[in-house]
Structure formats: structure tokens, C-alpha cells
Chains A and B, each alone.
Chain A
Amino acid sequence: MFELTFTEEQQMLREMVRDFTTNELKPLAAQIDEKEAIPDHIIKKIAELGIFGAAFPVEYGGSGFGEIGYCIIQEEISKGCMSTATMIGAHASIGSNSIYLGGSEELKQRFMPALAAGEKIAAFGLTEQGAGSDAFNLKTHAEQDGDYWVINGEKQWITNGPIADVVAVYARTKKGITAFVVEKGMEGFSAGAPEKKMGIRGSKTSTLKFENVRVPKENMIGKEGYGFPIAMKVLNAGRLGLGAACLGSMKELLALSTEYAKNRYQFDEPIANFQAVQFMLSEIAVMIYNLESIVYRTATLYDLGKMTQAQAGMVKFYASESIDRTVDLSMQIFAGMGYSREMPIERFYRDARINRIFEGTNEIQKIVIAKDILRHKGSIFF
């Protein structure tokens, strides 16, 4: 049987995050965008509710909802505020996952409980000036000095950079790329000023500088030279979560657009009566149905340990292309009102665009998907 139901707990999780988003987050979303900051009390509340630790097992301070639970959270939060979803993603998914998926038992015991509880905020540091799509070309390097590794270099475009207590830093060592946990307060480690962005403005993105940062050797994530596979594994989960976030925003946009179409009168009737407008709503609905199906199918595979890189790539690619199409159609339905900053449509429009760029551009996703097709001679499906 192909299971299509959520458990009672997953449903309760969805209800709770939906209520939280509706009551606390949505009313602040415009302010978060305008002021380019998520209020501390919101982050504190998210932490208290256990949202940051949702996916992780109980023994690491989480509540064992797995990737499906994480996707539900990303979906519901993104109905209200994509900045907040991005902040959660950089912390709970790519940041903490570097340690959870790549680290030794001892490292996980040391860091995961505080990360799951949101007492410490994480970031994921891979990208550099010369290493965007070509992440393997990173130049930040670490050299061993007794019980320490000394890191030098600079990262850029790091989400949560300015607020992170813990950064998973990917650096070059003798044996290849190796990941380390760098902690706030370590000498020589600093974050740049937040970038001025088009969208997801409430999430803070910055450069990170490492000047002779001495990191105890216990802070190495996994083994020396195994950093790149860890980064890829982490990004696979991240790409799936990104799909769920797009899904949430798309559902919100359909709801807003439908309501508007039914209440906006032109030529003495609601614009929803015009087939041209109906077709736009239908097109959005088709994309939502598709995306909802692949997000939860892929999340199920992830929790079973069976998701492939190509599947994550397909979700990421499809999600980000369809949210872009959705914001465009919604804007068309709202027309002048959509273009106004009085309405949330233009914010969704700006927030949506990043999804085709980060966690690997869509061109990179296509390369990954094609590799899989060619390797399996075209049969990667049921």
C-alpha cells in the first residue's frame, strides 16, 4: 500500500505550528521584512515549543518527528514568514545536521541537546568567494597544531552568520575537505555585517572570517577528509526542507488569491468569474498538488534512509520553479494591489526567488539529476 495519511502526532504538530504561525508570526511578517530582523521573543517561543529539535531523536534532545515532521514545520511556518523558515532551516537543518549526520557520538552528545533546544543557534559554512556552485573549490584551510586545528579563510553568504553560536565550517586539510565546529567567542572568528537582500530579509546572511582560529581537535566533525560527503548529505536534507517551505507559501498564496478573486469586482462581477483568472488558480493548485505529493513521498523515503540525491534535487528544483510561477500568477490576480506593499504578495514575490539560487542553484540540481538518470539508464522511478 502507498501510505497517504499523517499520524495523529503529525497532525497535532501541524495544528500547533499552524496556530502559532497564524497567531504570532503572520501578524509580524511584514515587520520582520521591513526591519530585517526576527524579534527575539519569536525565536525564543519557537525554541520553547520544541520546533528547532523536532526532527532529532529524543536522545539528542529532539522529539523524534523526523524529516516528515520537519517538512510539516517548514510548510506551516512558510505560510506566514519565509524569513523565519530560512532561519529555522539554516539552524535546525543544514547547521545542526552537519553535526547530527556527520559527527561522532561524543560530538553529538556535546552539541545536539543545546541545538535542539535552541539554546544555541547553528549555521552552515560552505560557500566562499571562489566556491559557490563549485563548492569543492573552497580555499579556507585548516592545519593541525598539536591538539588543535588552526583555521584560516573566509566564508560568504552564510545564513545565521551574525547570530550563530555554532558554525559547521568546511575547510581544506591535507586529506581533502574536513568539517569543524567553530564556536562563537573563539579567538580570530568573526562575522561580517548582514547583507542587504531582496527577500527573506529577516534572516541574517553574512561573511565569516577565520584568522588563526584555534579549534580543539575534538571539534572535528567526522573524520579528516570526509567533509564533502557530509556537506552533500546535509544539503540533500536541506533541499527537501526547502521544498516544504515553498509548498507552504504556495498554499498561502492560493488561499489569498482565491479570496481576493472572489471579492474583487470588475465589470460588475467577481474577477473569479473570469476564466482567465480561474485558470491561474487552477495552475497554482496543480503545482501545489504535485509538490505536496513529492515533498511527503520524499520525506518518507528520507526517514526510511532511502532518499537519493536526485530525488532531493528534483524536489528542490520543482519547488523553487513552481513557487516562482505561483508568486507571478498571484501578483497577476492581485494586479495593482499585489504590487502594493500593503499586501503580502510582493513580499512573497521577493522571498520566493532565493529558492532557485541557494542550497545549490537549479542548474546544479539538473546536473545532479542528469547524473542519476544516466547512471541508472533512465529508470530511477517505480
Chain B
Amino acid sequence: MNILVAVSRVPDTTTKILVGSDGKFIDTNNVKFILNPYDEYALEEAIRLKEKNGGKVIAITVGPATAQDILRNALAVGADEAVHIKSEQNFDSFFVASQIAEYASKMKPDIIFMGKQSIDFDSLQVPSILSDILDLPLATIVTKLNYEGNMVKAEREIEGGKEVLSLQMPCIISAQKGLNEPRYPKLPDIMKAKKKPIEEIDAPNYENNIEIIGMELPSRSRLNKIVGDTDEDIKEIVRMLHEDAKIF
């Protein structure tokens, strides 16, 4: 089974974000980058599927030269090969999806996994655009998967409930938290990752469909939030204090 996993490099959730001097992008100095947390679920699912059915997992990312460390991460966790579509320019979701689509149309994976969104721009667009370009069925925000032959049963979150979809492979799955418990890379595998191949492809120059006109930090007054008093709300407050306000 050929499995493609799309991963992206994003600022760590606990990093304090500042806007760069051009006012159009974040200041990447002193920012710690990590593998997008939702992609970890996608990667874990891909590796589990390979461990069960055999085959090969290829991790792909579109990004600058510095993004290569997350591919090493993916290789250390268990991907067999990696593909780095290199581009130093700022790009939009369409560009990412079209680059992945180009590679996928040659590789012909049986299934493509990716996180439901990247936590940097939160556009949630790549899975849908990819599905459109490749004309493949897509299940988004998936929390549970079952495989029967070449059919995939995907349970996904919808407002106030669950929806179960049945898809035929090849298909695309975008992963939500809860899909699985991602593993830690084992030490021998970290060492072996060095020897696994990373194919580098230069991305073409590209005219963005979407132009970022400006970027600014939220003003103080807009930080006010009102939440309820259920256990879930309390968890949300803790998360906001930790990730948004970065108080602890």
C-alpha cells in the first residue's frame, strides 16, 4: 500500500508571535518551529496502516529549506521516504495543494493523510483543494477510521454529533485530534532517519491567488472572551491562558 502524508512546519503553540517588519508576515526570528500537531495524527495513522498492511509511507512538505527538520522528524517516527518541495516565497493554500497534487498524480498513493488544518494560518483549505484537483473523495476532521478491502469508513465530527462516511480508495483523509495517540520516535529510529532519503524538488515560481495585505496582533480589548462554566469551558480557559495569553 502506498501512503502519502502531507506535513507542515508551524510555529510552536507556546511561541510568542510577533509581526515582522514588513507588516505582512510573522517575525520568524527566535520562533521555535514544530511539526503541525494535527499532522502528527495523520502521520501516526499512516504508519499504523503500513504496519498492518505493508507498503510504504512517504511524507511530503512544501516549504523553505528550513522545513526539512520536520521531514526528519517524520522519518524518525516511521515514514520510509520524504519529499521536500522547496519554495522560499510566501505562498497560499492553493499553491501547497497544487504542489502536493502534482507529486501525488505521479506517485499514485492509495491514500493521502494530512492534518485537518495547519495551526499557523488555520485556513483548513488544503485538503479540499487537493481533493478537487485530484478528483479524489475526501473525509475531513476525521476522528476514527476503519478499513475494509479498498473501502474506508471514516467517522468525522460535525456540529453536535458524528457523521460516518464511506470512501473508496484512493482517497484523502484529514485528521482531527483523537484519531489516535501519536508515538514518540524511538532512539534507534532517530539515528536511522539520517540515512533515509529526502527527495528535493524545486517548486516553480508562483503568483499567489491570495495576497496578504497586512498582519497585526490582536488588540487588547479584543482579547476579552466570555465562556460558560462546564468542564469543557474550564479546559478551554486553561488552554487560552496557556496558548493564547501564554501566561504559563
In the complex, A16 has a CB within 8 A of chain B: yes
| Inter-chain contact A8/B72, CB cutoff 8 Å | yes
Contact A9 to B188, CB < 8 A, known contacts A259-B248, A263-B247: no
| Inter-chain contact B191/A65, CB cutoff 8 Å | yes
Contact A49 to B72, CB < 8 A, known contacts A9-B193, A12-B193, A263-B247: no
C-alpha gap A53/B187 in the complex (Å): 9
| Inter-chain contact A50/B188, CB cutoff 8 Å | yes
CB closest chain-B residue, reference A24: B184
Give the chain A neighbours of B73 by CB distance below 8 A.
Answer: 12
Instruction: Place the interface of chain B in its size category.
Output: 10 to 19
Interface string of A246-272 (1 = CB under 8 A from B): 000000000000010001000000000
CB closest chain-A residue, reference B76: A12
| Inter-chain contact B184/A19, CB cutoff 8 Å | yes
C-alpha gap A215/B229 in the complex (Å): 66
Contact A20 to B184, CB < 8 A, known contacts A9-B193, A12-B76: yes
Contact A63 to B72, CB < 8 A, known contacts A9-B194, A259-B248: no
Count: A-B pairs, CB below 8 Å? 45
Give the chain B neighbours of A64 by CB distance below 8 A.
Answer: 191
Give the chain B neighbours of A50 by CB distance below 8 A.
Answer: 186-188
In the complex, B69 has a CB within 8 A of chain A: yes
Give the chain B neighbours of A11 by CB distance below 8 A.
Answer: 69
Q: How many residues of A contact B (CB 8 A)?
A: 21
Give the chain A neighbours of B248 by CB distance below 8 A.
Answer: 259, 263
C-alpha gap A48/B186 in the complex (Å): 7
Give the chain B neighbours of A12 by CB distance below 8 A.
Answer: 72-73, 76, 185, 190, 193
Give the chain A neighbours of B184 by CB distance below 8 A.
Answer: 16, 19-20, 49
Q: Of residues 66 to 93 in B, which have CB atoms within 8 Å of A's CB atoms?
A: 69, 72-73, 76
Give A contacts to B, CB under 8 Å.
8-9, 11-13, 16, 19-20, 48-51, 53-54, 58, 63-65, 69, 259, 263
Given A9-B191, A12-B185, A58-B188, 15 extra CB contacts under 8 A? A8-B69, A8-B72, A9-B190, A12-B72, A12-B73, A13-B187, A16-B184, A16-B185, A16-B190, A19-B184, A20-B184, A49-B184, A54-B187, A63-B191, A263-B248
